[in-house]
Each structure stands twice: as C-alpha cells, then as structure tokens.
Amino acid sequence: MTSALRYEWRRLWSIRSTYWLIGITFGLQLIATLLAAMGTGAVNDVFDAAETVSQIITLGAATGLSPLFTAYIIAMFGVFCFGHEYRYGMIRATLTAVPDRRAVFAAKALITALLAAVMSVGCSLIGMFSSMVFLDTRGALGSEAVWYVVLGSAIYTMLFGLCGMAFAALVRNQTGALAMILLIPLVAENVLSLVLRLVSEGGSDAVEIAKVLPFDAGAQMYASAFADELNRFLGYDPLGAVNGGLVFAGFTALLMAGSFALFLSRDA
Amino acid sequence: MAVIEATGLGKRYGAKSAVVDLSFRVDPRSVTGFLGPNGSGKSTTMRLMLGLDNGDGRTTFDGVPFRSMRDPMRHVGALLEAKAFHPTRKARNHLRLLAAANGIPDSRVDEVLAMVGLHSVTSAKPKSFSLGMGQRLGIAAALLGDPHTLILDEPANGLDPQGITWLRNLLQQLAGEGRSVFVSSHLLSEMALLADQLVIIGRGRLIASGALSDFVTSNARTAVIVRSPDMALLGPALAARGAYARPGDEGAYDVTGIEQSVVGDLAHEVGARLHELSTRRATLEEAFLDATGMSEEFIGGVQQRPPAAQGQSGDYWQGPAQGEGR
C-alpha cells in the first residue's frame, strides 16, 4: 500500500493539471467570494453574520438553490486520477509498477478524498477572508453554524470527488467521466427532481423519491439555517444533514464498489 | 538465475481464442525472440505473463508470479507499448514516479536516461518526443530497477538504424550479464541478428521454440545444392541414405536431409562428378513464413508461389525415410 501511495502522490504532483486546478479553484473562489462579499452590502436581520459567511463561502449553495461550485472543479482531481491513466495509456505502466490493483485503487481513493477535503476547507477559509474584507463578520467566523457549513461542504466535496473517480474508473474515459460528473447532478438529477415534484402535486408520494436523489440529498450537509427556513416556507421537508449525508455516502460507496470490482476484474 | 516459465496460457475474447494453451520457457543468458504474425497473440501473451489481462495459465519468474512480487520493477522490466506516458510529465519525472513505487533511488533515473541516450531531454515533455524517443523512454523504464528479466513488446518500433544497432548491442549485453530477455518483433531481419532463442506462435498456439540456429537449419529451404552430370548415379545413392533430392535452379538439385560433407563422400564412392556442391541456408524470414504459413490469419490477396512440388516421379529421388528435416 505504501508503494501505491508513493506512486499516486508523485503522479499527482508531477503533472501541470494539478497546479492549474488548484490555482483555478482558489483563484476563482477568491474573486467570486470577494465580489459576493462586496455585493452583500451589510449584515442584516434576515442574513445574520453567520448566515452571511455561510452563503459567501459556498457562493450561495448553502441556500439549497444553487450547486456547490467549487466541488465541481475539485472533482476533476478524482476524474483525472483514473482518466489520465486511460487517456494516455498509463494504466499498464502503473500496474507493472504496482501490480496490486486493490492498493492502486485504495491509494487513488485516499489521496482524492484527502485532497478534495483539504481544498474544500481552503476554499471556505478564502471565503471567510473575503467576508472580512467587506463585512463585519469576524465574530461569526468561529460559530457553530459556520463550521457546520465548512465541515458539510468538505465532506460533500470529498464524496463528490470520489464519485468523479468512480465514474472515470467505470467508463475508462476521461471526457465521458467529466460529462457524467457535471451532467448527472446538474441536469439529470434536477430534471428528475422537478418531474417527481410535479407528479407529487397530483397527490402521490413521488416527492419522497426526490428526497433521496443522491447529490441533492448530500447537499443537505452544507444547508444553512436560511435553507431550512426556505424549505419550511415552501412546504418541502428534505432529509436533513445526517440522513442526506448518509444517502450520498451510500450512493458514493455503491459507485466505488462497482468501479472497484470492475477495476479488479477487467483487463488493463 | 532468471527463468521465465509460462504454462498453459490462454485468453478468449468472446468466442474467439486469442491465446491457446501456450507454454514455453525462457532461460537466462539469452535473448529470446517472440515471433508470430500480426494478431497471433504476442502482445496478449505478454500482458497475460504480467497479470495485466485475465486469462488461463500461469507465468512465473524464478518461481514467482509477477503480481506476487514486491517491488516488481527490480525483478522484471517491461515495455508493453510505445508512448505510455503523460504528455506533459517530464521524462525524468515519469521515471521518478515509477521509481518511487519500487523503492528505487532517484539517482538511478538519470543513469538509465543516460543509458538510453535521453540525457539531453530529461526535462523535456514527452509530447514533443518522436516514436523512437518514446521507445527509448519506455526502455529506460524497463531498465530502471536493474531487473534480471526484461519483457519488451516491439522495442525496435520507431527506432532509426542507429537506434536498432544500439538496442541490439544493449540487449545482447544485458543477456550476457546473465539476464533473461524476452522480446517480440515483427522485424525478422532484426530478430535474426538479435535473438539466439525463439518462441514462435500462430493463432495463439505454439508453433516452435528453441534455438534460432536449429529453427533455420531445420527449415526445408536449407538444402545442399548439388550440380552433377552423373545424377543418375548419385541420386539413388542419396535416396538410399534417406536424403531427398529435387530439381532446383539451372540444372542443380536441392538435397535435403543430409550434410554437405556426406554428399561429397557419396559422390566419391559412386564415382559421380560434381560441378557444384554447396549449402544454401534458409533465412529466418523463409523459415518463419513456412512455419507460420498455415497460421497466417490475414493473408493478403497476392497469390504466392506454392512450395516446390514434392514427389518421386521424374528426376526426384527420395529415401525410404523422407528427409525433409522438419
């Protein structure tokens, strides 16, 4: 396992895409959160300091109304860790250097998860900094409500990155995996959710199915107090952070298990 | 010691068999050429040997399967395909990556880059490499762990004539140091100069294995050329010794199944005059084409001249034990 970890670690830091992905993620987060903080104007009664910081660091995703932008960039690390292997014919070189496929898969998963979580926390810290530049949020930075969003978005991003990795291992095609990690949560799941909600207005329980759509369920992990109020106002009762997180984690685990089994059994 | 033993290798793709019950052995201190027509299963066999493809059979390297090895690149170096690297990862970093997984010191990276003649492009990105430079980088990766066994799939592809000479010298030097070198190629002229042992397959099945010199010598096209005005005397004497004589070019006879010196002795015994007595050796290409003729899957539309007719009518002489030497 240590061989596989050493290999994966060097693989990660010996390609340019790692550096430009980190640069783009942090750079865009800095610019976007600075703009968001500047545009917010002031902390008010509806958006108190903790709520304001939560919305700035997630760029509004904590409202439940928009996707967690940074997770989509960070998930590319997961896609690339297998995508590059197949795109550039490296997989056979990898498996002749480390023939233990379980170790190769585990090392990729571990490093993807760790990197995604660390980068997500980094993005949150950038958001906190931006909020302080324009707003009086210093007092809320250590609050439980803010750290709940920070932790939730880190776990979500970690699982999201692992989904990207699993897609790439499943389809063995980098472009296909990138399309899947973008289109499944952003398009397929949203369309399905909309259809299920419309159907449920006719009196069925279809909305219960919409609640367990994995990416949407997982987003409850970083939903802020405002999102809860908004859902109550709309009469929608999502799974909540723990149950939603478990659904997303379960989905990720299934995806990982499937791609792991295929990685072991397929020809390289 | 570095013995490769492949036993009962098999691979199917759906209903099609790519490799069928293939067994062979590769001994140290030799360059063993792995020959077969296109699509005969050479690359599949090499992947099976390294546990990259799932299939039947077992391959061991000094008794140990590849997938059970700790730091495998220290034991077996492999080149499976050209340009198997990330286009923007520098050549040195590519090798450092492989070295890290096998406990190989980074200092070894520059050594092998110099060994393959890439010392001037260690910091270059492989996307700018020619096919030949890519092959050299792949060979450097195979040599990285100073392994006792090398498995190289078409390493001469893309190399210029100087590169091929360099490769030949390198592989012979490595074999001379006691390593086992197993190398596939479709360049028969190269293989004739490079290999001393052969494993030949067709349609995934073993056709021949053993010393290259034996393989060529035993081919029907290796013959003693006899030109004599007294073939009426010499012909029956040759047949009586188990040889087979058939008309060749310009009045000469091609005699198989007998040594040149014995033909000379026989001619002396029966009082036959000899105007020419020489031996024509088959080329590896001729021997290979004859051996794989029945296994060629992708024969083109060009009509080939059939092998020389064989029989006992006319001016043919054949001994009681037919001496084709095959």
Question: What is the reported pLDDT for A43?
Answer: 67
Which residues on chain A are in Cβ contact (under 8 Å) with B66? 96, 99
Q: Which of B69, B86, B151 to mutate to test the interface with A (most CBs of A within 10 A)?
A: B86
Question: What is the reported pLDDT for B299?
Answer: 44
Q: CB count, 10 Å around CB of A254?
A: 12
Which residues of B fall below an 8 Å CB-CB distance to A?
47, 50-54, 66-67, 69, 71-73, 76, 78, 80-81, 83-90, 93-94, 96-98, 100-103, 141
Number of C-alpha atoms within 13 angstroms, CB side, residue A67?
Answer: 17
CB A89 within 8 A of CB B81: yes
List, for residues A98-116, the tens digit of each pLDDT value.
999 999 999 999 999 999 9
Over residues A251-267, the mean pLDDT reads 95
Question: What is the reported pLDDT for A140?
Answer: 78
Average pLDDT, rounded, for chain A: 90
List, for residues A156-197, the tens digit of each pLDDT value.
999 999 999 999 999 999 999 999 999 999 999 989 988 888
Question: In angstroms, what separates the C-alpha of A45 from chain B's closest C-alpha?
Answer: 52
pLDDT under 50 in chain B at which residues? 294-295, 297-314, 320-326
B72/A92 touch (CB, cutoff 8 Å), yes or no: no
Which residues on chain B are in Cβ contact (under 8 Å) with A16? 88
CB B202 within 8 A of CB B210: no
Which residues on chain A are in Cβ contact (under 8 Å) with B81? 89, 92
Tracing tokens 């990690």 back to the chain, one arrives at A181
Q: How far apart are CA B227 and CA B248, in angstroms?
A: 9
Nearest to A97 among B53, B90, B102 (CB): B102
CB B290 within 8 A of CB B208: no
Question: In angstroms, what separates the C-alpha of B148 from chain A's closest C-alpha?
Answer: 15
Phi, psi of B203 (to 5 degrees): 50, 40
Residues B83/B121/B182/B191 CA torsion (nearest 10 deg): 90
**Exposed / middle / buried, residue A16 (Cβ in 10 Å: 0-12, 13-18, 19+):** exposed
* ipTM of the prediction: 0.83
What's the predicted TM-score (pTM) here? 0.84
Place A143 in a pLDDT band, splitting at 50, 70 and 90.
confident
Residues B263/B265/B271/B272 CA torsion (nearest 10 deg): 20
Question: What is the reported pLDDT for B186?
Answer: 75
Which residues on chain A are in Cβ contact (under 8 Å) with B103? 3
Nearest to A88 among B47, B67, B86 (CB): B86
Angle at B74 between CA B73 and CA B79, to 5 degrees: 35
Which residues on chain A are in Cβ contact (under 8 Å) with B90? 14
- List the one residue out of B185, B184, B85 whose CA is nearest residue B129: B85
CB A124 within 8 A of CB A142: no
Place A46 in a pLDDT band, splitting at 50, 70 and 90.
low
Number of C-alpha atoms within 13 angstroms, CB side, residue B213?
Answer: 1
Report the SS3 class of residue B209.
Answer: strand
